[in-house]
Amino acid sequence: MGVAKYIKDERGGIKEVTYQSGIKIKPVYGPEDLENAGFTYEKDLGAPGCYPFTRSIHPQSYRSRAWTTRQYTGFGTPEETNERFKLMIANGQNGLNVAFDLPTQMGYDSDHPLAEGEVGRVGMAIDSLKDFETAFAGIPLDRIGSGLTINAVATIMMAMYQATAEKFGYSKDQISVTPQNDILKEMIGRGAWIYPVEHGVRLVGDSIEYAVKELPKSNPVSICGYHIRESGATPAQEIAYAFEIAKAYIDNVVARDIPPEDFVGRFSFNFNVYGNMWEQIAKFRAARKLWAKMLKTEYGVKDKKKLFLRGLFGGGGSGLTKEQPENNIMRGAYYAMGAALSGAQTTALCSFDEAYTIPTPRSALLSLRTLELLMDEVGLRDTVDPLAGSYFIETLTLEMEEKILEEMKEVQKLGGMVNCIGTGLIHKKISRQAYEFEKGLQAGVYKKVGGPQGPDKARTDTIAQQPNVELHAYNEEWAEKSKASLKEIQASRDDKEVAASLSALEKAARGSDNVMPHLVKCCHAYATIGEMAGVFKKTFGEWNEPEFY
């Protein structure tokens, strides 16, 4: 989970430091460490914007452009979410990162019995195109890009975004949408899957193929090591598993006779910044290097820009504590600093109250201001990769590279990521790690300041322990409004058009045709999420997680 393990001597000094990826840290580093590792500037570092991109994918990095801010946003009804979108944009946010409620994520309409008590709770409730039209009303979709944190039904939401843009008068080549769309990490990390592994990967492949042909500014998949890490993976495993997942998607699309050069430049990543700052910085620097090397050597990608590791470095929720939640403001600032020092292009910072609730406007704006402070006051735009050349950072980056490669080789030896997920091997491994970490946290082996085992536990007064958090209470009216809106759209739409579009979708799903054009037609006909996901459930079935305990 990212907290370093410290062993102290009898006087309380630090005797040993081990990062979670298994790297032991020396007290002092010097030129001999780089010499012993065979480090060379050209091979391992290079100029910013030059292969292997260890320092940055852009020559001037933040000197030429500050990072994109995409705070995670969405709750309740589309109307309320639209208000929050506009609030964040008015206060300087330049991209959207959209949260959906659990029924939407699982392909259920708001009136489904399993949606009871969950409509709008952890994100925005979406049933049909009408809801998207409401949520994005007044948002300049040709200037504001949107990330959609959705996976099992990502193809549906991607189609719905396109249909919404078209309703608003934008052409599909004007819009930029990035659905998370990483079903394999769902099967490892979050659990919001629906369909069996092979069908889930097929849908990801369909969205990539469609984006290549129809959505030139969109990124069809955001491979999400973030949730794998939150579930118990080490920083090295987070990168390794994300890359092995990416290879599974690449191989699926290559099998459709589409060269990697045509689509890998559209991949983005979502990574976690929680934990020891130096380990996170080394992780991201090593990741940029390894991604470029892998695409070049294994897939023959030649275009420099297609070798870029692009993505959002954000979070990280696991680092937050419910005890003394204001401490999370400081944690978030250091997470953001780690992301900036490692060259993030986009950041979504966790808000201090997320250990309790959906971020309030106050906490969301505090996170946004934290990101702006680092860029505009602290000086992180002054020079590119200020840590380059550090004996410690460069040695640590090399060691992190080796750890990532070790984890990737293990996955390959076990038959690849699809096989590892289908058999439960990866789930079993990181679940055990999460259990062992939690035991270590409770026993005081790992520390969270101000938390259950913080160093000030015995002397913290009762005032400091009181959570100064405005809870975001669940509102039953969200469900009633969503159900009423759903009933209204079902009564006013053309039932024959809906039935015809769903029938064509089922035919495509049963065959080998790309489902995306059919989903766009379904959305324009105001078919619901539940109806479209229901076609896939009927056709593909549902996945049963393997037992591994």
Indicate the pTM of the whole model: 0.93
Question: Does 495 fall in a domain?
Answer: no
Q: Which of 372, 17, 388, 430 is nearest to 187 (CA)?
A: 430
Average of pLDDT values for 410-423?
Answer: 94
| Residue 534 resides in a domain | no
pLDDT band at 474 (very low <50, low <70, confident <90, very high): confident
Using the predicted structure, report yes or no on whether residue 514 has a pLDDT greater than 90.
Answer: yes
Binned at pLDDT 50, 70 and 90, residue 452 comes out as: low
Helix-helix angle 391-413:235-254, to 10 degrees:
50
Predicted pLDDT at 357: 78
In the numeric block, the tokens 């990168």 are attached to 239
Contact yes or no for 100/150 (Cβ under 8 A)? yes
436 CB contacts (<8 Å, ≥6 apart)? none
Residue 10: helix, strand or coil by DSSP? coil
Cβ-based neighbour number of residue 359 at 10 Å = 23
pLDDT tens across 254-311, in order? 999 999 999 999 999 999 998 899 999 999 999 999 999 999 999 999 999 999 999 8
What pLDDT is stored for residue 549 in this prediction? 58
- Domain assignment present for 544: no
The H-or-E segment that residue 6 falls in is strand 5-8
Give yes or no for residue 457 having a pLDDT over 80.
Answer: no
Lowest mean pLDDT among 81-85, 160-164, 251-255: 81-85
Q: Give residue 253's identity as a one-letter amino acid code.
A: V
- Amino acid 368: pLDDT: 87
Residue 526 in domain: no
DSSP 25-50: EPS---HHHHHHTT--IIIII-STTS
pLDDT at 458: 47
Q: How confident is the model at residue 465 (pLDDT cuts 50, 70, 90)?
A: low
Q: What percent of the chain has pLDDT over 70?
A: 96
> Could you write out the DSSP letters of every residue in 276-339?
-HHHHHHHHHHHHHHHHHHHHHHS----GGGG---EEEEB-GGG--SSSTTHHHHHHHHHHHHH
Residue % of the chain over a pLDDT of 90: 74
Has residue 450 got a pLDDT over 70? yes
Range of the domain at 436: 5-465
Average pLDDT of the chain is: 92
- pLDDT recorded at residue 449: 85
Across the range 38-56, mean pLDDT stands at: 95
Q: Kindly report each contact of residues 399-403 with a partner whose C-beta sits within 8 Å and lies 24 or more positions away, as own/partner.
A: 399/23, 399/37, 399/282, 400/21, 400/23, 400/235, 400/236, 400/279, 400/282, 400/283, 400/285, 400/286, 401/286, 401/289, 401/290, 403/21, 403/22, 403/23, 403/234, 403/236
Distance CA 146, CA 328 (A): 26
Higher pLDDT, 5 or 126: 126
Q: Which of 206-215, 331-340, 418-427 has the highest mean pLDDT?
A: 206-215
In a domain, 306, yes or no: yes
In sequence order, the β-bridge partners of residue 5 are 18
pLDDT at 527: 98
pLDDT tops 90 at residue 504 = yes
Task: Please report whether residue 491 resides in a domain.
Answer: no
Which pLDDT belongs to residue 454? 47
Predicted pLDDT of residue 69: 77
pLDDT given for residue 472 in this prediction: 67
Q: Looking at the domain assignment, is residue 368 inside a domain?
A: yes
**Across residues 124-151, what is the average pLDDT?**
95
Q: Where does the pLDDT of residue 448 fall: very low under 50, low under 70, confident under 90, or very high at 90 and above?
A: confident
For residue 87, give the CATH number of its domain: 3.20.20.240
Using the predicted structure, report yes or no on whether residue 544 has a pLDDT greater than 70: yes
CB-based contact 127:75 (threshold 8 Å): no
Contact present, 193 and 200 (Cβ < 8 Å): yes
Does some domain include residue 76? yes
Q: Which among 136, 126, 71, 132 has a CA at the least distance from the CA of 100?
A: 126
Residue 244 has pLDDT above 80, yes or no: yes
pLDDT at 165 over 60: yes
**What's the one-letter identity of residue 420?**
C
Q: Is 382 a residue whose pLDDT tops 90?
A: yes
Number of domains in the chain: 1
- Is the pLDDT assigned to residue 110 strictly greater than 90? yes
Instruction: Tell whether the model's pLDDT for residue 463 goes beyond 90.
Output: no
